[in-house]
Amino acid sequence: MIKVGDKLPAGTLMEYSEVEGEGCSIGPNPVDVHKASAGKTIAIFALPGAFTPTCSAKHVPGFVQQAAEFKAAGVDEIWCISVNDAFVMGAWARDQKTAGTVRMLGDGSADYTKATGLTLDLTARGMGLRSNRYSMLVKDGVVKSLNIEAPGKFEVSDAGTLLAQAKAL
């Protein structure tokens, strides 16, 4: 399992862009994690699934609402990672109004989530292998803080906790 002081694992996530710009075509675009995090401070949070109750009502909205405060604390980007395809993440981004605040990144086959060691098996609930709920602060690809939730909890991976850690860096 990934821990503080580790480099982010290599991998590719997928992002759906609704508008063309800066070389991005419309549709799913690959995001190389190492290239995208190089030289930046990134607030990453991951969750079990798009459109799920806690994720939609609490987790994503907290990061959207506090995006300006993260920027003021020196965070260059906020990423949301979920084991969903890029099209679902794009639809969820529209629903959650994340444009300009949170990059919604799909890990459709859970390959990246497996590489972090932060998987959550929800097969018994009909959801298959998913991501555990967590947040982390990453500086130039290195994990500086990591907050992993206990199953079914939402206590330490919220925007407020990670923002306090970003301010302390």
Q: Which sequence positions are flagged as catalytic? A: 55
Distance separating alpha carbons of residues 100 and 38, to the nearest angstrom: 20
Instruction: Name the residue with tokens 């444009």.
Output: 99
Residues 6+ apart with CB under 8 A from 62: 158, 159, 160
Nearest to 52 by CA among 126, 102, 1: 126
| Paired tokens of 1 | 């399992």
